Structure 1
């Protein structure tokens, strides 16, 4: 029996709540480019996760909830949009023929993030994961070209899929509003103390720049 959207969103929030206690502030250098999945996300707005919440915490929830929308759109497409489904099936077969697929099977906390760290000026990488994936992709045959009529029909089906995605997205956001208290409580209990401790440690280091140097 298919689960309702309410059940799916509740289970996604439950899974995120089980993960949040394991979250720790990142110690590596922050990224320059914003996350396309989280920047301005209505999902995060509905969940009450503002810009003051660390991105890793945001990403873990937005990815889980967006997966619900993606699955709903995939089901709608398979039942109602044959041309688009055929294109997706061909693309999926093309992807399966690639020997190196580093973006598959990632945990929600890492799904959608850049594969490589930001480069350091003057210190080029010997190789990158994204570069290796791109090289592997060039060896896979391209999809067959479409006629102009087929392109028009395909654009129409893509527009319908986008409309359905927006509809499901609004419903999911409305459901998330009912989970705000649980989400906020987890932020207060597990996230804010770690952020406060990190800021206190940074403040102490800035106040005593010569501590330990004997000056």
Structure 2
């Protein structure tokens, strides 16, 4: 199985294949701050500047986050039995919670609103958000944890967090090796779209027959 370097390289390759399909005109504006991307060290490691659109960053950051999450899941399953049991219980509870429209989305859509904002005077017949919870069943009762079990679980959570931090650092270090091709792709595929959008916006501010402004002759 690939190490962190190989997984990061593969994830960047997938992102580079996705990027040509992204169009700035179809990007849905966010109504909330993205907790995954705001202040993310992955964005800094990738070399993303403030002008890179959020959907472009989100798609890569999501793939890097998945590498960290997979590593933590593997470490937990092998070394942290109490935490693994709690996670399995949480997963079972989630399955009983019914339909969840945000489950199973690809990284470029994870964490985003599942429904677009409605147009004034044009309400939706239904939304995916309204369908959340469809088919839910009653949760199963569980016995409370003893104080000793709680302390042991807290220790395992600390170990899991440390695994996430160390893996995240390794991912960022590996991503540094790909900054050049990430920057080249953004310059070639994203920046022309931004420039065209800005040009169209300023063109609309001028009248069709207006000549040079501000001159006396």
Question: Normalising by the residue count of structure 2, what TM-score does the alignment of the two structures yield?
Answer: 0.85
The answer to whether the 8 Å contact 1:116/1:129 transfers is yes
Deviations 1:48-75 (A, max 9, x none): 0122100110011001111000000000
Structure 1 stretch 141-150 or stretch 51-60: which is displaced more? 141-150
* 2:184 paired with 1:185: yes
Structure 1 stretch 87-96 or stretch 11-20: which is displaced more? 87-96
Structure 2 unaligned blocks of 5 or more: 211-217
Provide the residue aligned with 1:152 in structure 2. Answer: 151
Change (3 A) 1:32 1:103: closer
Provide the residue aligned with 1:51 in structure 2. Answer: 50
Question: Normalising by the residue count of structure 1, what TM-score does the alignment of the two structures yield?
Answer: 0.86
Deviations 1:113-160 (A, max 9, x none): 1223357899987754334325655x4416623333322222221111
Provide the residue aligned with 2:82 in structure 1. Answer: 83
Larger radius of gyration: 2
The answer to whether the 8 Å contact 2:68/2:164 transfers is yes
Paired residues in the alignment total 209
Provide the residue aligned with 1:141 in structure 2. Answer: 139
Deviations 1:11-70 (A, max 9, x none): 000000011111101446622311111111101110001221001100110011110000
Give the CA RMSD over aligned residues.
2.6
Change (3 A) 1:79 1:106: same
Structure 1 unaligned blocks of 5 or more: none
